[in-house]
A = this chain, B = another copy of it.
């Protein structure tokens, strides 16, 4: 439903031999991708790594042309892998695979040197096309601003502040004390938040905030 929209992919200069490195902590995904892509003749060799460290090491030894990188990894996070590898080997194209696509996440990834961003829910043909495209120097990113630019509600700084404290269990009174304003003002902010997020109570507001990326999960 929210698959990234693929840009038009230009004609390729034949089926080159692409050296591919897959970095994903899930063996299922790793071996699955390998099995899925291995049959394609455009790949010269495919290597896999189960962690950031392993991936970096693999770059030294294997010299890949393209890397498929999973962002969501438990211990070692994919972002650091992206930064490290891109800084050290700027010529390597990195195609980020992620489970949940946040607009902010896409932006971050783009800024940090990735050549593309794909949801894991894309089909094989799209994935193959994307790999070939980034190998050829294309940038593959979801068309972010277009479809759902309006669904990211613009909360004011004050409202965000109030929202954060709502998630900490503060009442309007307590929040008023913390922010140094009247509890009535707090209620006004809360009402505004409700309208902007299209919710009916504090619990739903907090939930939506997490889903929309307005609140972080890292505490």
CA distance A168 to B203 in the complex (A): 8
A201 to B205, CA, bound (A): 13
Mask, A178-219, CB within 8 Å of B = 1, is 000000000000000000000111111111001100010111
**This protein's copies in its complex:** 2
Flag the segment in A20-28, A53-61, A133-141 that touches B. Answer: A20-28
Q: Would you give the shortest CB distance from A163 to chain B, in whole angstroms?
A: 9
Q: Is the CB of B167 within 8 A of A206?
A: yes
Instruction: Flag if B31 contacts A29 (CB, 8 Å).
Output: no
| Stretch touching chain B among A11-19, A117-125, A148-156 | A117-125
A104 at interface (Cβ–Cβ under 8 A)? no
Question: Is A157 an interface position by the 8 A CB rule?
Answer: no
Among B27, B119, B207, point to the contact of A124 (Cβ < 8 A): B27
Q: Which 4 A-B pairs have the closest CB atoms?
A: A32-B32, A169-B204, A167-B207, A26-B120
Report A's interface with B, CB cutoff 8 A. 1, 25-29, 31-33, 35-36, 50, 72, 74-75, 97, 99-100, 119-124, 127, 166-169, 171, 199-207, 210-211, 215, 217-219
